[in-house]
Amino acid sequence: MRPTGQVLKPNGVDGELLVSFRGIDPDDINLQEPVFIEFDGLPVPYFFESLVRRSSSRASVRLTGVRTLRDASELEGKTIFSESEPEAEDQVDITGWTVLDSDGRVAGTVDDIEDIPGNTCLSIIPQGKAEPVLIPFHEDLVLEVNEKEQSIRMVIPEGLL
């Protein structure tokens, strides 16, 4: 089994969950296959009853047997595992990478990628702040991508931070 995602938190009071997926687009999830969450070292199978994409890596989901806020709270922070192998991708997951401004100063950490039609944006958490900020993620603004350092140096339009 391989890690597929993580339960971030309950989403509402009727058992819905906010899940962050790793290395897989929420739209590519096979809803007919079970996923597993470990309890006391044993994998417990769940099936998706519904999945609503919220961003490029997050979705609101309903799992079989999770009906209340209490049920959902017990899953908070748990890793979701899958038996299926992901399809080969050329994309690298940049969640958690450091964003540097054009002078090399730390601007923040990538929280997510927002696929806004015609304007893909990085959602970053700026240094010392809790709320994310959207920054256009366009090839003309990217100065350097360093996979080894897991950083992106880019031109950040004035006033966004």
Band (pLDDT 50/70/90 cuts) for residue 88 is: very low
* 121-157 per-position pLDDT tens digit: 899 999 888 889 999 988 889 999 998 999 999 999 8
Q: Class assignment of domain 2-82? A: mainly beta
pTM: 0.53
Average confidence score pLDDT of the chain: 87
Query: What is the second-level CATH architecture of the domain 98-154?
Result: Roll (2.30)
* 90-128 per-position pLDDT tens digit: 567 888 999 999 999 999 999 988 877 678 889 999 988
- Strands 106-116, 98-100: pairing kind: antiparallel
The residue extents of the domains of the chain are: 2-82, 98-154
Dmax (CA) of the chain: 51
